[in-house]
Each structure stands twice: as C-alpha cells, then as structure tokens.
C-alpha cells in the first residue's frame, strides 16, 4: 500500500545480481583457465595505458593534475545523491491522520482524527482473540486519501472467511464512530509464529 518503488527495486537488485554473477564467473575463469588469464593481462595493460594517456592529455595548463578527476568526483556526487533519493523513497506513504475535514459551522475550525486512534481501536478489539497469533494495523495515504492496512496471522484451523467477515464488521463500526468510510486492505498471512503456536480451534 505504500509508495515504495517495488519495480525499480527489483530491477536494481536484478542488475546488481547479474553484475556480481559476471564478476564471480570472471574470477573463476581467471583462476582456472590460462587463456582467459593471458587475455585479461593484455586487455588490462592496454586499458591502463589508455587511461594514463587520457590523464596526460587532459592536464591543466602548467600543472600535473587532470580535469578528469573533477569529472569523476562530480559523477560520484551525482551517484551518491541518486542513492540517497532512492533510499528516501523506501517505505513512504504512511499517514498521520485518518480524518481531516473543515468545519463550516459558526466557529471556523478543522476536525482531525489521528490514524493512531483507528489503529489502537482495532488492535484492542483484536488483541484478546484466541484465534489470532498476531495483529498489525497501519494507516497509509493512497491517492491523497487515508486507508488502513490490517495484517492478521490466524492460527491453524481458523476459517479465513469467518475471520474476514468479523474484521469487516469491526471496520464498519469504526466507520460509524469516525463518521467516514475508510478503505481497508485486509491481509491474512501465516508466518512461523502461526505455524508453531498452539491452535485454539480444532483443525
């Protein structure tokens, strides 16, 4: 439900994995195949001589330094900035308010209800249920509107359709309290805690 760029993350991870795979395969070939080792020595020597020639041709007038180093530093700064921007995009989308409305009454003002109110209310209603091994409620902002994500870990033997209907009834009661219909994503999962915890209902 958040705005994490999952497709971009998968592409970057795939590219990184491919690069590491190519590097590993090249290292294995260099250590085991003499022909590849000799090719690498000749190729790297030519590359190093070409780099030295480039640095010699791009020196500042009357100085030994090359302006290529400044270009490399700028590229590194841009790369670091892109990495920081990419990290900042992870996990975004959380919302602080579940309701925000302007009061058009005689006394002007705003009506605000924090997302923690809905989160704590649903958690408290689901906390003592023996058929649940875990409960997580969070408020997110989807297309400018607040929404709730409810993640439940039912124990073994719990009917998911019955559990979903009971949670839907709780959400409808919450909508009546706050006076607004809130979109909800209900996620039923089975983790390690749910698998190895003692079942409270007959399978």
The CA-based angle 123-101-88, given to 5 degrees, is 65
Homologous superfamily (CATH) of 97-196 is Cation efflux protein, cytoplasmic domain (3.30.70.1350)
Structure pTM? 0.50
* pLDDT of amino acid 197: 47
* pLDDT of amino acid 74: 94
* pLDDT of amino acid 103: 67
* Contact between 117 and 95 (Cβ < 8 Å): no
What CA dihedral angle connects 189, 193, 198 and 203, to 10 degrees? 20
* pLDDT of amino acid 25: 93
* Contact between 179 and 158 (Cβ < 8 Å): no
* pLDDT of amino acid 128: 80
**First-to-last CA distance in the chain?**
32
Q: Which two tokens stand for residue 182?
A: 């809130």
* pLDDT of amino acid 200: 39
Task: Kindly give the confidence (pLDDT) of every residue in the chain, 203 residues in length, as a single tens digit, with 9 standing for 90 and above.
Answer: 555 667 778 888 899 999 999 999 999 998 898 888 888 888 888 888 888 888 888 888 877 778 888 889 999 999 999 888 877 776 666 677 777 766 666 667 777 777 788 888 888 888 888 888 888 888 887 777 788 888 888 888 888 888 888 888 888 888 888 778 888 888 887 655 545 444 433 32
* pLDDT of amino acid 4: 61
- Domain ranges within the chain, ordered by starting residue: 6-88, 97-196
């Amino acid at each position: 439900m958040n705005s994490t760029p999952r497709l971009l993350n998968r592409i970057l991870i795939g590219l990184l994995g491919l690069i590491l795979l190519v590097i590993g395969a090249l290292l294995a070939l260099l250590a085991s195949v003499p022909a590849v080792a000799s090719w690498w020595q000749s190729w790297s020597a030519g590359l190093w001589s070409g780099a030295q020639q480039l640095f010699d041709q791009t020196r500042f007038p009357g100085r030994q330094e090359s302006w290529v180093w400044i270009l490399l530093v700028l590229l590194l700064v841009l790369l670091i900035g892109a990495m920081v921007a990419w990290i900042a995009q992870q996990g975004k989308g959380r919302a602080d308010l579940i309701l925000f409305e302007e009061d058009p009454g005689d006394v002007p003002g705003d009506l605000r209800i924090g997302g923690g109110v809905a989160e704590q209310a649903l958690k408290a209603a689901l906390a003592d249920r023996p058929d649940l091994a875990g409960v997580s409620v969070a408020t997110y902002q989807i297309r400018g509107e607040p929404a709730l994500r409810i993640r439940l870990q039912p124990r073994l033997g719990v009917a998911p359709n019955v559990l979903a209907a009971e949670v839907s009834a709780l959400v409808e009661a919450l909508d009546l309290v706050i006076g607004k219909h809130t979109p909800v994503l209900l996620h039923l999962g089975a983790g390690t805690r749910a698998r190895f915890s003692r079942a409270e209902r007959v399978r």
